[in-house]
């Protein structure tokens, strides 16, 4: 029986990396019935909403989506598609594994980085509650609730327990924002007492950022509210090669959306040189979510072997190959 999954190719390089990912998933032998749903900047502008009804209805039907990048305008225009999806489907946990890829040249290539970042996904400054108090004075409201903080903390600790992770570091700025971040940290501490087998510590966000670039190998699981999680997860991605190589998952009680977290890169769209690693890695998380652990392991190993060989990497990874050649190499190593 095939899994019914929503496929949102996106725009820019989205359709190219989505096609490549579909190819490698087919090569795993896992049967998937794709429900392709178009979503792009032009479709959003025509519909007048960041999340057109046909996209939301598809994900609600299937429960699982694989999503490519969608262009979001800066300082104007429509609101972020990603934020809209997370809010509408209550995808409260953003999960981003960050790990060293064999053979990939980075400033930290000799360091074994292996961490998982858990970011609360529904509130904080991303609640979008802001207004102009008087001319040229804008107020943005930071919303932190016990409900959301307890939920993301428990999700992170449960993940650590199930996956043999040993330490969780909660990141905050409670020394300044004593009420909002103070509530978040108190909730993390409360949940930590229920998991005595997992070490727990806390770092102020600026110190955590410094520690990440000085000794990233010391981190295991990071637990953060929304804004800090957004910033720190991108910082961590930079340690292992950038947004083009890290996966992302947005998890809720009833729905899950797996996505490449990089941009749509319209400047290289259609040239056949896009790097599909991020979406392929996100599809590995999707396979694990579906219970297809064996297929996920095989694809993970094939991807790692392709990097270790280093002969079919795309230009942004230091190679000279295109999307098709890279994908062909992953499939060859998979089969």
What pLDDT digit, counting tens, does each position of 1-55 carry? 899 999 999 999 999 999 999 999 999 999 999 999 999 888 888 888 888 899 9
Single residue among 245, 269, 286 that ends a domain in this structure:
245
Q: Phi first, then psi: give them for residue 84, nearest 5 degrees.
A: -65, -45
What is the dihedral angle through the alpha carbons of 307, 11, 271, 306, rounded to the nearest 10 degrees? 10
In a shared domain, residues 115 and 197: yes
In a shared domain, residues 97 and 241: yes
* Closest to 22 measured CA to CA, from 13, 34, 11: 34
The chain-wide mean pLDDT, for the chain, equals 94
The pLDDT confidence band at residue 75, using thresholds 50, 70 and 90, is: very low
Question: Number of structural domains, the chain?
Answer: 2
CATH number, domain containing residue 261:
3.40.718.10
State how far the Cα of 218 lies from the Cα of 212, in Å rounded to an integer: 8
Q: Phi first, then psi: give them for residue 183, nearest 5 degrees.
A: -65, -45
State how far the Cα of 195 lies from the Cα of 118, in Å rounded to an integer: 17
In a shared domain, residues 57 and 109: no
Tokens 């007492």 label which residue?
Answer: 193
In a shared domain, residues 118 and 66: no
In a shared domain, residues 82 and 98: no
In a shared domain, residues 207 and 109: yes
In a shared domain, residues 274 and 175: no
Residue 41's pLDDT is 81
The reply to whether the predicted model has a pTM over 0.85 is yes
Residue 78's pLDDT is 54
Residue 77's pLDDT is 52
Domain that holds residue 328: 1-91+252-335
Starting at the earlier edge strand, list the strands of the sheet with 64-67: 32-36, 3-8, 64-67, 256-260, 247-251, 93-99, 114-120, 221-224, 167-172, 199-204
Q: Which residues pair with 201 in a beta bridge?
A: 169
Single residue among 216, 245, 274 that ends a domain in this structure:
245
Which tokens go with 107? 């400033």
State how far the Cα of 249 lies from the Cα of 66, in Å rounded to an integer: 9
């Amino acid at each position: 029986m095939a899994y019914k999954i929503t496929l949102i190719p996106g725009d820019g390089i989205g359709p190219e990396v989505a096609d490549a990912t579909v190819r490698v998933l087919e090569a795993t032998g896992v049967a998937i019935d794709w429900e392709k749903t178009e979503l792009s900047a032009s479709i959003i502008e025509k519909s007048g909403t960041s999340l057109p009804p046909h996209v939301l209805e598809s994900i609600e039907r299937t429960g699982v989506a694989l999503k490519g990048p969608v262009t979001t305008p800066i300082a104007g225009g429509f609101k972020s598609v990603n934020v809209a999806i997370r809010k509408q489907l209550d995808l409260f946990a953003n999960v981003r594994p960050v790990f060293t890829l064999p053979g990939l040249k980075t400033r930290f290539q000799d360091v074994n980085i292996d961490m998982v970042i858990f970011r609360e996904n529904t509130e904080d400054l991303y609640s979008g509650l802001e207004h102009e108090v008087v001319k040229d004075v804008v107020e943005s409201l930071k919303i932190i609730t016990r409900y959301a903080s307890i939920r993301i903390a428990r999700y992170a600790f449960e993940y650590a327990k199930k996956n043999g992770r040993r330490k969780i570091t909660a990141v905050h700025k409670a020394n300044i924002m004593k009420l909002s971040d103070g509530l978040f940290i108190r909730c993390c501490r409360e949940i930590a007492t229920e998991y005595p087998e997992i070490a727990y510590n806390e770092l102020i966000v600026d110190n955590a950022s410094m520690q990440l670039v000085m000794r990233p190998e010391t981190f295991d699981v990071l637990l953060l509210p929304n804004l800090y999680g957004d910033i720190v997860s991108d910082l961590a991605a930079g340690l292992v090669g950038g947004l083009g190589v890290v996966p992302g998952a947005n998890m809720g009680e009833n729905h899950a959306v797996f996505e490449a977290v990089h941009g749509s890169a319209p400047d290289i769209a259609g040239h056949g040189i896009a790097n599909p690693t991020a979406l392929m890695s996100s599809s590995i998380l999707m396979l694990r979510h579906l219970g297809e652990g064996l297929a996920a392991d095989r694809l993970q190993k094939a991807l790692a072997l392709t990097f270790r060989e280093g002969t079919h990497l795309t230009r942004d990874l230091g190679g000279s190959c295109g999307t098709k050649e890279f994908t062909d190499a992953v499939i060859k190593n998979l089969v």
